[in-house]
Amino acid sequence: MLESMSLFHLLTFLKFAVILVIILSVAPVMAWVERRGSALMQNRLGPNRIGPLGLFQSICDAIKFLFKEDPIPGHVSKFYYALAPVVSLVPAFMTFAVVPFASTIEVDGRVLGFQLADLNVGLLYVFSVASLGVYGIIMGGWSSNNKFALLGGLRSSSQMISYELSLGLSVIGIIMAFSSVHLGEIVQGQAEVFRQIGPFVLPEWLQVPKWGILVQPLGFIIFITAAFAETNRLPFDLPEGESEIVAGYHLEYGAMKFSMFMMAEYINMFVASSLIATLYFGGYHGLHWVLNLVPLEGMSREWMRIALELGAFFLKVAFFMWFFVWVRWTLPRFRYDQVMELGWKVMLPISLANIFLTAFAVYYGWI
């Protein structure tokens, strides 16, 4: 038993565990970041009583959520009511499986990749699984048998379906530019040097990596806007719309069931941020120059490279998570019909135009 339990297996198990812990801890950490971050923007302190800088506040919240009474209101459709939080949380977990957060390393003669599943259709998998999340919200809104929850469910279904179109179409540009739907290959493609903007060739001394944002600036703007709508964050938080439809789809939920909806939102944010980093900001690239500064050889150099890649990836993800928080506490909320108008009349035509532009660029060999 022990013999077959090689270092490679150990590392693989460790990898699963670490990824699970990271995803599970996203919600409490982000809850803290959101509270302290909003407090920072609003000239106040935020929670600062429990633990250093109030860091343990989230733990207390989790304990509260777990031990609170979990009532099921009498008027709900019980099966779907109980199912809805699960349905919204599970796809959020599943999406992260294909995101690469470092390149591969050779251990014991076998290649260890830093992602759970190295799918060759990674990007398609992400979109197919992510679009399942909306069912949880619709189920929650419908089964709650509450008028406000119903309105929230209706809003979210139309909003998420409308924006999924632009989200999917904006990514087609990336697929065309890097000729792959494999996330690892897309990231590898971004390690090359960015040579030209349209027909204009950049000078030799300017060594800029070919990150997605340089290749697909328009696509990036559509993607990040649609990502806000997909994760139901301000200025697109209409399914919740606290001041309008009270709390929308999770109005009738309490205790851990509510907390699962909240976790799903934060994990979706995490996935969206990792996708932005992966598709448009070079994924795990960006810190390799540090390797030249340290005198390391052999395996330790390899591990150092992995550590730097992980660092670069999570730094980028953290920035975009912060960006989500930043926008939330700055902008007012759209109205429902305005969101629809923006989605169908502005975002969709632009994302289609982006595909044509990319096709031209690919045809003329600019990308």
Partner 1 sequence: MSNNSDPRTQLTLPSGITVEHDPDDLWSDSRMIVNIGPTHPAMHGALRMAAKLNGETIESSYCAFGYTHRAKEKLGENRTFHQFIVYTDRLNYCSSLVNNVTYAMAVEKLLGVEVPERAVWIRMIVSEIARVVDHLVCVGINAVDLGAFSFFLYGFHQREEAYTLIEKLCGARLTTSYTRIGGLMFDAPEGFEKELKAWVNRTRKVIDEMDRLLTGNKIWHQRTIGVGVFNKEACLKYSYTGPNARAAGIDVDLRRDQPSMFYKNVEFDVPVAQNGDVFDRYAVRIEEMRQSLNIIAQCADRMKKGPIWAEDKRVRIPDKDVVHNTMEGLIHHFKFFMTGFEVPEGEAYACFEAANGELGFYIVSKGAPRAHRMRIRGPSVYHYQGLSSMVRGEKIADMIAALGSINIIAGELDR
Shortest spacing between CB 298 and partner 1, in angstroms: 52
**Angle, alpha carbons 163-165-166 (nearest 5°):** 70
- Specify the residue, 92 or 137, whose C-beta has the smaller distance to partner 1: 137
- Specify the residue, 86 or 331, whose C-beta has the smaller distance to partner 1: 331
Q: Are 54 and 36 in contact (CB under 8 A)?
A: yes
Shortest spacing between CB 71 and partner 1, in angstroms: 17
Shortest spacing between CB 337 and partner 1, in angstroms: 7
> CA–CA separation, 296 vs 304, rounded Å?
8
Q: Can you name the residues that pair with 107 across neighbouring β-strands?
A: 110
Burial of 38 (0-12, 13-18, 19+ CB in 10 A): middle
Structure tokens at 64: 């509260």
> CA–CA separation, 230 vs 236, rounded Å?
8
Shortest spacing between CB 355 and partner 1, in angstroms: 26
- Specify the residue, 117 or 331, whose C-beta has the smaller distance to partner 1: 331
- Specify the residue, 119 or 327, whose C-beta has the smaller distance to partner 1: 327
**Could you tell me how many residues make up the chain?**
367
> CA–CA separation, 216 vs 311, rounded Å?
24
> CA–CA separation, 261 vs 63, rounded Å?
16
- Specify the residue, 44 or 49, whose C-beta has the smaller distance to partner 1: 44
- Specify the residue, 70 or 341, whose C-beta has the smaller distance to partner 1: 341
Shortest spacing between CB 154 and partner 1, in angstroms: 8
Shortest spacing between CB 327 and partner 1, in angstroms: 11
> CA–CA separation, 296 vs 82, rounded Å?
54
Nearest CA among 188, 120, 192, 167 for reference residue 343: 167
Shortest spacing between CB 340 and partner 1, in angstroms: 11
Shortest spacing between CB 326 and partner 1, in angstroms: 10
Residues in touch with partner 1 (CB under 8 A): 38, 41-44, 147-148, 151, 234-235, 237, 241-246, 329-338
- Specify the residue, 141 or 283, whose C-beta has the smaller distance to partner 1: 141
- Specify the residue, 34 or 61, whose C-beta has the smaller distance to partner 1: 34
Nearest CA among 282, 264, 262, 263 for reference residue 274: 282
What residues have CB less than 8 Å from 332, skipping those under 6 apart? Answer: 234, 235
Structure tokens at 322: 């912060």
Structure tokens at 260: 């699962």
